[in-house]
Amino acid sequence: MNIRKLLIANRGEIARRILRTCRQRGIQTVAVHSEADRDLPFVREADEAVCIGPPPVAQSYLNMDAILDAARDTGADAIHPGYGLLSENAEFAGRVEEAGLIFVGPSPEVIARMGDKVTARRHMEEAGIPVVPGSDGIRDLAEASREAARIGYPVMLKASAGGGGIGMEVLHSEADLEKAFTSARGRAQAYFGDGTLFMERFIESPRHVEVQVFADGKGRTLHLFERECSVQRRNQKVVEESPSPSIRPETREALCRAAVQAAKAVGYTGAGTVEFLVDPGEDFFFLEMNTRLQVEHPVTEMVTGLDLVALQLDVAEGKPLPFGQDRIESGGHALEYRIYAEDPDRYYPSPGTLKAFAPPEGEGIRVDAGVETGSVVAPFYDPMIAKCVVWGKDREEALARSLKALSSFRVEGIKCNLPLLIRILEQPEFRRGKYDTGLLKKLQSNQR
């Protein structure tokens, strides 16, 4: 079935990104938006727009009834969830299908299976994928204490239903556990509606490397190479690049094989990302699977020349992937820099009106933005306002272009993290490509 009209159940830059591919394919589009977002570019650029509620996400972008009503009222036949919000909500995917609409993503069953981190770990172990030593779901502090002693400190305490780095705690002792357990469980319940926690051994100085996978549900499951995602603040990514500058070719091949094996093991369909931690010896461990399009998908698009949203739509329409693994090539080097509306030193959000927003232009530069000059950055949503993606024939050229692009990027009226991104670029460890997830923390410590 060909998609004629697509409702985009998201906002900002990812809504505009999806709109772009839909225009190229002649697909009509419907934007849904909160009252706070009514003047943002994605609302104006869609063929139709429906206000679905007040600014808070619980009353608008997480309001399944309002989104499904908008789809029905506008005659949409498919829904693309973007990333975040309802994109990995199995109930929402199920309700979309029950309404007779196409959900652009994997099945509700797969989303549920991989969305619960404890269940996902179990599936990966059964599939022969290495996982970080850890626990099943933990019910109370006494059980947590026993599991921590069994695994061995330091441990990472995590929310089973979590994502985006929310609620993670590194614990070095029983005293840390006693202090953190109740608050971590409360945050998990508040953010995800599920207070279940679990533990994993904390791996010292790891790198965070993920593999983009695609499956068409017709027997073809492929990888689109890896992305290095080790520059993180509070367990959230800030800079991503492909190919990874820090792993050996044989490790890259093993990671990509494991990712495909993981996707096949759960009957995956569509675009997904299998995330791994890689230790200093280049042993790697399954971390999680994101059952959606990633924020950093443009990095993969820049090095492969593929349109991942177009491929998502093809698979959702029941078409096979138009190529095999041997036809996918990675060329050059690409980096993505997330532009956040926040204080670059303290990570505090910085909402307000953009007096100027002038992205860089030039060869090898792509900016995906959710705002423009005059836009209001509301305090209700994730503070990312744009992504600057830079490609070069090799990493050296990509880094040189990056510094020029970020230095000329004008954002006025709010604070943003452009100064921090430039500092990252200037770090010797980063320039050598020999960095791990502790890079940004060390950089911040040196600034004090």
How far is residue 236's CA from residue 417's CA, in Å, rounded to a whole number?
Answer: 14
Pairing of the two strands 5-8 and 28-34: parallel
β-bridge mates for residue 270, sequence order: 215
Nearest to 417 by CA among 361, 311, 346: 346
How far is residue 348's CA from residue 356's CA, in Å, rounded to a whole number?
Answer: 20
At 438, list the tokens: 């502790």
Torsion, Cα 271 401 246 224, to 10 degrees, reads 20
C-alpha atoms less than 13 angstroms from C-alpha of 230 in its C-beta half-sphere = 29
At 434, list the tokens: 């020999």
How far is residue 51's CA from residue 180's CA, in Å, rounded to a whole number?
Answer: 40
Q: With beta carbons less than 8 A apart as the criterion, state whether 370 and 351 touch.
A: no
How far is residue 111's CA from residue 88's CA, in Å, rounded to a whole number?
Answer: 6
11, 292, 338, 395: the catalytic one is: 292
Please provide the DSSP assignment of 240-288 as one string.
Answer: EEES-SSS-HHHHHHHHHHHHHHHHHTT--EEEEEEEEE-TT--EEEEE
Helix%, strand%, coil% for the chain, nearest 5 = 35, 25, 35
The question of whether 292 is a catalytic residue gets the answer yes
How far is residue 338's CA from residue 295's CA, in Å, rounded to a whole number?
Answer: 9
CA 366 to chain centroid, in Å, comes to 18
Annotated catalytic residues are 292
